[in-house]
Amino acid sequence: MPITKHSRLVATTLAVALGSTALAACGSDDDNAGSGPVSLTYWTWTPGMDKVVDLWNKGPGKKEQITVTVKKQASGDTLITKILTAHKAKKAPDLVQAEYQALPTLVSNDALADISGDVGDAEKKFAAGVWQQTTLGTDAVYAVPQDIGPMMFYYREDLFEKYGLKVPTTWEQFAETARALKKKAPDTDLTTFSANDSGLFAGLAQQAGAKWWTTSGETWKVAIDDAATRKVATFWGDLVEEGAIDNQPMYTPAWNKALDTGKQIAWVSAVWAPGTLTTAAPDTKGKWAMAPLPQWSGSENVTGSWGGSSTAVTTDSAHRSAAAKFATWLNTDGTALNALAKEGGIYPASSAAQLSGAFTTPPEYFANQPDFYTEAAGIAKTTAPSAWGPNVNVAYTAFKDAFGAAAKNRSDFAAALRTVQDATVADMKKQGFGVSE
């Protein structure tokens, strides 16, 4: 049953709207349960995953006669390219770790199987906005959520007190705080706008209600330049232009030094920030605190997502049900999730796991905030739905180029956003997708 890249992704994305059952992968599952041992291969980049999988192989896997072998891989676009190359030769592994924004690309290339019939009631274990990322808004299930990156606001508690600043609960207050700090300490910045971090900007747009890729009929609608995203771009562009915040990229020696010496006293980040701060600003351990992300209005309570990944089963697997069974165990079983937290340092997508095991005590760096993970779990529940498309990598590259120049020159962020929109649309048309704006 031939399915083109265009027709498959549009069809699966539109399945719910059309009231039909989402398309499953061509062919049938060859598990033949009970006919003998099954061996699966899993491509993943998570540290320590082999130790976690060992728990499966010695426990549930042994009982089920399902053995999983881990093959460590690079992450990001490198892995997606490798998966697609292997799939063209019908030799993709049984299971792959995939970032949420990569799922539409893999689905559009018919590389991921619909495992909706093999994951039981797993959906109940995750926040709605998290689960939605693995269904692409359809009745199909293309992966099981593994880890997430709900966004939060981090700040130097001691320096906020020193400068008489209040923790902002709205973005308007955030801007006022940045300006107030500049008046009191001209050489100090509240934070920086980093044009190197497309995922951060995407998460901020997501919080504001952006839907960058959606479908209508047989056509993709690309709305990276929508009103919600323009609001976010203009907000940050104005702060950069007036010099209220820094305009340098993050994850550089200069950025690390700024955090460690108090030249920057806040960071818009995600739940995984403690690990980064431990390395970037070791001298300020115990001086930071975490709060919910500022809101666009005082009545809202929503956050964006920066990072996170899932476990998917490929259409090349001859044992899809067995693979789905492992993927479900890996991301919903308490023992597995505790091991993932310990060995891989992940923040689980599973709602229950966010308040148990490794997450009953705060990160060592935040020992001064005993309720760190309780607060984080509450924030995670407010994660806004995402809307990813088939060429996120192109949009992210265009963002780095256009916003990199705009941040450096303190020029118009709205114009940079339009450049990203145009580049994304042009690429989709080149690939043969039907596109509207």
pLDDT tens digits for 151-173? Answer: 999 999 999 999 999 999 999 99
305 neighbors 203 (Cβ within 8 angstroms): yes
* Inter-CA distances, 61 with 40, 316, 332, Å: 11, 21, 15
Task: Note the pLDDT of residue 25.
Answer: 37
Q: What are phi and psi of 391, to 5 degrees?
A: -140, 50
User: Residue 260, SS3?
Assistant: helix
Task: Note the pLDDT of residue 75.
Answer: 85
Give the C-alpha separation, 136 to 22, whole Å: 11
* Inter-CA distances, 304 with 153, 285, 311, Å: 11, 26, 21
pLDDT over 60 (residue 2)? no
**The Cα angle at residue 161 between residues 159 and 165, in degrees rounded to 5:** 95
Task: Note the pLDDT of residue 30.
Answer: 53
In this structure, the chain runs to a length of 437
Task: Note the pLDDT of residue 216.
Answer: 82
Sign of CA dihedral 130, 131, 133, 134: positive
Give the C-alpha separation, 21 to 13, whole Å: 11
Radius of gyration of the chain (CA): 22
Task: Note the pLDDT of residue 215.
Answer: 84
**Which of 17-31, 308-322, 405-419 shows the lowest per-residue confidence on average (mean pLDDT)?**
17-31
What's the pTM?
Answer: 0.89
Q: Mean pLDDT, the chain, as a whole number?
A: 91
Give the C-alpha separation, 87 to 380, whole Å: 34
Cα torsion for 276, 277, 281, 282, to the nearest 10°? -100
| Structure-token match 């919910």, residue found | 292
Q: Which residue type does 91 have?
A: K
Closest CA to 137 of 226, 29, 18, 219: 18
Residues with Cβ within 8 Å of 334's Cβ and at least 6 positions away in sequence, in order, are 352, 353, 356, 357
126 bridge partner residues: 350
In the numeric block, which tokens belong to residue 145?
């959520």
| Structure-token match 């596109």, residue found | 435
Give the C-alpha separation, 136 to 315, whole Å: 17
**The Cα angle at residue 26 between residues 20 and 29, in degrees rounded to 5:** 105
- Please give the average per-residue pLDDT across 344-371, as a whole number: 94
pLDDT over 80 (residue 184)? yes
Give the C-alpha separation, 434 to 427, whole Å: 11
Q: Which residue type does 398 have?
A: A
In the numeric block, which tokens belong to residue 226?
């929508």
Give the C-alpha separation, 101 to 99, whole Å: 6
Task: Note the pLDDT of residue 222.
Answer: 96
43 neighbors 327 (Cβ within 8 angstroms): no
Cα torsion for 351, 357, 360, 366, to the nearest 10°? -100
Closest CA to 401 of 415, 388, 383, 387: 415
Give the C-alpha separation, 350 to 369, whole Å: 22
Give the C-alpha separation, 250 to 306, whole Å: 14
Q: Report the share of the chain in percent with pLDDT over 90.
A: 86
In tens, the pLDDT along 18-63 reads 233 333 333 345 554 446 799 999 999 999 999 999 999 999 999 9
Q: What are phi and psi of 148, to 5 degrees?
A: -135, 165
- Please give the average per-residue pLDDT across 52-79, as a whole number: 94
Task: Note the pLDDT of residue 378.
Answer: 96
DSSP string covering 368-411, please?
Answer: T-TTHHHHHHHHHTTBPP----TTHHHHHHHHHHHHHHHHHHT-
Split at pLDDT 50, 70, 90, the class of 231 is: very high
Q: What are phi and psi of 220, to 5 degrees?
A: -85, 135
The b-or-e profile of 358-382 (16+ CB within 10 A means b, else e) is bbeebbebbeebeebbebbbebbeb
Give the C-alpha separation, 249 to 326, whole Å: 39
